[in-house]
A and B are shown apart, each in its own frame.
Chain A
Amino acid sequence: KAGVTQTPRYLIKTRGQQVTLSCSPISGHRSVSWYQQTPGQGLQFLFEYFSETQRNKGNFPGRFSGRQFSNSRSEMNVSTLELGDSALYLCASSQGLAGANYNEQFFGPGTRLTVL
């Protein structure tokens, strides 16, 4: 069974631009969560989507948004990019809702975003 895939793996943008990252979960998994990893703030939960609905949300500004499609694939969008948005963005999938008993999440390799 293929793992979680994320595209693109690397991305360079300039301040003020917007970016869309994509995540394909493991086949059969209906939950997709997004995390931001930076050297300064570490790993932080962004949000979780399940059955095309956002079910849980971390403490990030509205510039960070996401969506999930009927095939469970998910996209994350960051608008008006800031230098501080440079990070590794990790996607994780789980069979059930991750927030229910903290079901095991399987992580993708991440998308490295650099904002210049």
Chain B
Amino acid sequence: AQSVTQPDIHITVSEGASLELRCNYSYGATPYLFWYVQSPGQGLQLLLKYFSGDTLVQGIKGFEAEFKRSQSSFNLRKPSVHWSDAAEYFCAVGAGLRFDMRFGAGTRLTVKP
């Protein structure tokens, strides 16, 4: 079965600094890959999704992610973080003929002024 690992539980960055959140997955084939963001008291919002094509995916709110098959990674990046980006970020994997979405444990992002 597929699995998702987000190695960083909590990351703190300064406003204006760049951001990279790590995600590694385990699956035999190329799965669907997602990044979601969850703000306190709210549900999840899809930032971006990858299945095939260009390995650099552009998402909403200035985020992008790069799929690296050789490293089984799908890291999320943003060149300049804003205070409003403080939230929890989830990487997710979907694969197989039967719908089976697996989420990572999440990375909580704190933004310092």
Chain A positions within 8 Å of B, measured between CB atoms, are: 4, 42-45, 48, 55-56, 58, 90, 92, 98-99, 101-102, 104-110
Number of A-B contacts (CB under 8 A): 49
B98 close to A43 (CB less than 8 A): no
A56 close to B103 (CB less than 8 A): no
Please, how many residues of chain B have a CB less than 8 angstroms from a CB on the other chain?
22
A105 close to B99 (CB less than 8 A): no
Chain B positions within 8 Å of A, measured between CB atoms, are: 32, 34, 36, 41-46, 49, 51, 90, 92, 94, 98-101, 103-106
- CB-CB under 8 A from A102, the residues of chain B are 32, 34, 49, 51, 94, 99, 101
Q: Contacts A90-B43, A108-B43, A110-B43 known; A42 to B104 CB distance under 8 Å? A: yes
**Nearest Cβ on chain B to A89's Cβ, whole angstroms:** 11
A-B contact pairs, 18 of them (CB 8 A): A4-B43, A43-B44, A43-B90, A43-B103, A43-B106, A44-B103, A45-B100, A45-B101, A56-B99, A92-B43, A99-B99, A101-B51, A102-B32, A102-B94, A102-B99, A108-B43, A109-B41, A109-B42
Nearest neighbor of A99 in chain B, beta-carbon distance? B99
